[in-house]
């Protein structure tokens, strides 16, 4: 990819458009903008700009397109696959200051926001309104624009779906600067190809997203969680299809091993309600009548006990629920703090193959002499498998992670899984995607990219 290098003339154009206080070059670009939260990939953009309006985004993209300059859209940089890293240099377009909550529409049950609004701000804005936005990815400081572009999933995806299922409309800017609106405050459409769903999860490679209409739901009146200790991981995970077969749909269904619990206790400096079992399932239920959720959790608790659980601990106060789920939300941070570096495999597999996959992943620990920790969304088959570098030599580490990822993705493909359940492909998983989808599929991906972005200026080098 041959792009024009940024010149003083380009900087002058950006400063004239945005003002000097929103254009950063050289040492004024904070180191944080050279990487994301996980990948070792480190590249500085040649210039970093903070955008505030759709017109600014449009002007910059038109200029970049006319001048063959790559542009990397950036939210909070909490991504885990290098998708918001400016691997080709050029302009990094940061959306975090384009962060107004524009409209709560209680007649249509929608909230319209700018892309830089943080998930935590949406949650606190809606607090007390009787409405909620259901996707709940672990990282609450991510932007909604980032969530849309990665199709972020969360712990409630099992019942309410991922980000994709909760977005109604987008305002977008194509790479040539054209502004468009797709979707809207409508609950269904059958009006040709659905560009909105193509753009959701496209990791900033097709368009810049400048406005988002979120779907809201009434807050369920009752909420209860169950922490279920099991003597072994096998027993815990093998219980998941049994729960599904019993026709109970929990709001969330997570699995975790004791190791991860201990890591989290050390990281948080506090004890969780139980830590002596080898493995756990964590379930939550919500509903509008007490009877409805009592029936569901009693049936789930009994199913777990019948399948070999040691106990089923009920958490029915907001404080206890919050403490358990916020501990669950820190697993990644806790594992990260326990090693020098880590890399992640975020596969999604059919739910009846989770146990199979986790056994396989664990078996690679001794084969490659490496620590592997896992936890995941058992309810939707999305597993987070972390390879830990510890004190390994860097060359050996790179060799091992490549070999282990090859084995993990091959295993996932063989059981009907996909490369990523929620963190995306970005730069880090690009080669693995290529090897795991049909060549025709890849050709179509490349064709789509070329139609949206014929000059390949928007987030080049990602996904395809
Ligand atoms: C501790 C931790 C927990 C996490 N938990 C979860 C989880 O539970 N579920 C989950 O799915 N992810 C999770 N993540 C990953 C991450 O938070 C998500 O991928 C999130 O959606 C990224 O949002 P961001 O604002 O940081 O975007 P960035 O990382 O800055 O960008 C992500 C992608 O979106 C593109 N982008 C951003 N804004 C725009 C825009 N306005 N227009 C076009 N493209 C844009 C970027 O180019 C990039 O490709 C976690 C990360 C951490 C560190």
| Structural class in CATH, domain 222-332 | alpha beta
Ligand 1 atom 52, closest CA: 139
Mutate to test the pocket of ligand 1, among 37, 75, 210 (most ligand atoms within 8 A of CB): 75
Q: Looking at the domain that runs over 101-218, which CATH code has it been given?
A: 3.30.465.10
Judge if 101-218 and 222-332 fold alike in CATH terms. Answer: no
Q: What is the pLDDT of residue 192?
A: 96
pLDDT in the model for residue 259: 87
Confidence of residue 18 (pLDDT cuts 50, 70, 90): very high
Scored b (16 or more CB within 10 A) or e, 412-430 reads bbeeebbbbbbbbbbbbbb
Within its chain, how far is the Cα of 182 from the centroid? 23
Nearest alpha carbon, ligand 1 atom 44: 204
Alpha helix segments (H runs only) across 75-143: 119-126
Ligand 1 atom nearest residue 38's Cα: 53
**Taking the domains of the chain in order of start, what are their residue ranges?**
8-96, 101-218, 222-332, 339-433
Q: 339-433 adopts what CATH topology?
A: Alpha-Beta Plaits (3.30.70)
Give the atom of ligand 1 at the shortest distance from the alpha carbon of 209: 42
- 73 Cα nearest atom in ligand 1: 47
**Which numbered atom of ligand 1 lies nearest the CA of 152?**
11
Span 205-243, pLDDT tens digits: 999 999 999 999 999 999 999 999 999 988 998 999 999
Is the distance from the beta carbon of residue 287 to the nearest atom of ligand 1 less than 6 Å? no
Collapsing DSSP to helix, strand or coil, 208 comes out as strand
pLDDT at 180 over 80: yes
How would you classify residue 331: left for phi > 0, otherwise alpha for psi between -120 and 50, otherwise beta?
alpha
For ligand 1, say whether the CB of 311 is within 6 Å of any of its atoms: no
pLDDT tens digits, one per residue of 379-410 = 999 999 999 999 999 999 999 999 999 999 99
19: left (phi over 0), alpha (psi -120 to 50) or beta: left
Contact predicate 439/53, CB 8 Å: no
Res 329 pLDDT > 90:
no
Percent of the chain with pLDDT over 90: 86
User: Residue 136: what pLDDT?
Assistant: 87
- Cβ–ligand 1 distance for 201 under 6 Å, the answer no
**Closest to 281 in 3D by CA, of 223, 232, 236:** 236
CA-proximal residue: ligand 1, atom 27 (nearest): 146
pLDDT tens-digit map of 61-77? 999 999 999 999 999 99
The finding on whether 209 has its CB within 6 A of some atom of ligand 1 is: yes
Sheet hosting strand 371-377, strand order edge to edge:
313-315, 222-230, 279-287, 252-257, 371-377, 382-388, 342-345
Index of the ligand 1 atom closest to the CA of residue 459: 47
What is the pLDDT, as a whole number, of residue 230?
A: 96
In a 3-state reduction of DSSP, which class is residue 287? strand
Distance 409 CA to ligand 1 centre (A): 22
- Does the pLDDT at position 270 exceed 80? yes
Indicate whether 369 pLDDT > 80.
yes
pLDDT, tens only, 90-109: 999 999 999 999 999 999 99
When the candidates are 3.90.1300.10, 3.30.43.10, 1.10.3720.10, 3.40.50.10320, the CATH number that belongs to 8-96 is 3.30.43.10
422 lines ligand 1 (CB under 6 A): yes
Nearest-CA neighbor of 115 among 177, 37, 167, 64?
167
pTM > 0.85:
yes
What pLDDT band is residue 286 in, cutting at 50, 70 and 90? Answer: very high
What was the pLDDT predicted at 274?
A: 84
Report how far ligand 1's centroid is from the alpha carbon of 130 (Å). 27
Would the pLDDT of 15 be above 90?
A: yes
- Ligand 1 lined by 206 (C-beta under 6 Å): no
pLDDT for position 324:
85
For residue 54 and ligand 1, the question of a CB distance below 6 A is answered with no
pLDDT of 325 strictly over 90: no
Ligand 1 atom with least separation from CA of 118: 25
Q: What is the pLDDT of residue 458?
A: 98
> pLDDT at position 112, please?
98
| 138 pocket-lining for ligand 1 (C-beta < 6 Å) | yes
Whether 137 lines ligand 1, by a CB cut-off of 6 Å, is: yes
Mean pLDDT of the chain: 95
Provide mean pLDDT across the span 276-286: 93
Residue pLDDT, tens place only, 144-177: 999 999 999 989 999 999 999 999 999 999 999 9
């Amino acid at each position: 990819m041959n792009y024009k290098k940024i010149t003083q003339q380009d900087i002058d154009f950006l400063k004239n458009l945005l003002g000097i206080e929103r254009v950063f070059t050289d040492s004024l670009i904070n180191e944080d903008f050279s990487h994301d939260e996980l990948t070792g990939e480190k590249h500085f953009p040649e210039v970093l700009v903070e955008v505030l309006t759709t017109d600014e985004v449009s002007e910059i993209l038109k200029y970049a397109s006319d001048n063959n300059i790559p542009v990397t859209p950036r939210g909070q940089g909490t991504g885990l696959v290098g998708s918001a890293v400016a691997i080709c240099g050029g302009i990094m377009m940061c959306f975090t200051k384009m962060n107004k909550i524009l409209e709560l529409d209680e007649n249509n049950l929608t909230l319209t926001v700018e892309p830089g609004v943080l998930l935590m701000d949406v949650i606190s804005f809606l607090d007390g309104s009787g409405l909620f936005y259901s996707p709940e990815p672990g990282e609450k400081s991510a932007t909604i624009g980032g969530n849309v572009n990665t199709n972020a999933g969360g712990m409630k995806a099992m019942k309410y779906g991922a980000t994709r299922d909760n977005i109604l409309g987008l305002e977008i800017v194509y790479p040539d600067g054209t502004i468009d609106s797709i979707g809207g405050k409508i609950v269904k459409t059958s009006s040709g190809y659905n560009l909105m769903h193509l753009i959701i999860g496209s990791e900033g490679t097709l368009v810049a997203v400048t406005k988002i209409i979120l779907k809201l739901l009434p807050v369920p009146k009752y909420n209860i969680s169950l922490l279920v200790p099991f003597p072994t991981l096998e027993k815990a995970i093998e219980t998941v299809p049994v729960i599904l077969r019993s026709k109970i749909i929990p709001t969330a269904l997570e699995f975790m091993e004791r190791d991860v619990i201990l890591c989290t206790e050390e990281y948080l400096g506090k004890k969780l309600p139980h830590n002596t079992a080898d493995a756990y399932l964590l379930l939550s239920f919500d509903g509008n009548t007490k009877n409805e959720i009592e029936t569901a959790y009693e049936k789930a608790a009994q199913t777990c006990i019948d399948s070999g659980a040691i106990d089923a601990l009920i958490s029915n106060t907001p404080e206890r629920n919050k403490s358990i789920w916020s501990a669950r939300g820190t697993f990644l941070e806790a594992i990260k703090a326990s090693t020098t570096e880590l890399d992640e495999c975020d596969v999604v597999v059919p739910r009846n193959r989770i146990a199979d996959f986790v056994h396989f992943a664990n078996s690679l620990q001794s084969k490659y002499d490496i620590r592997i920790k896992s936890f995941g969304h058992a309810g939707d088959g999305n597993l987070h498998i972390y390879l830990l570098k510890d004190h390994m030599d860097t060359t050996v580490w790179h060799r091992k992670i490549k070999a282990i990822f090859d084995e993990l993705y091959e295993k996932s493909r063989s059981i009907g899984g996909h490369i990523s359940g929620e963190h995306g492909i970005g730069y880090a998983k690009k080669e693995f995607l290529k090897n795991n989808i049909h060549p025709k599929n890849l050709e179509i991906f490349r064709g789509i990219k070329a139609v949206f972005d014929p000059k390949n200026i928007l987030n080049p080098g990602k996904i395809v």
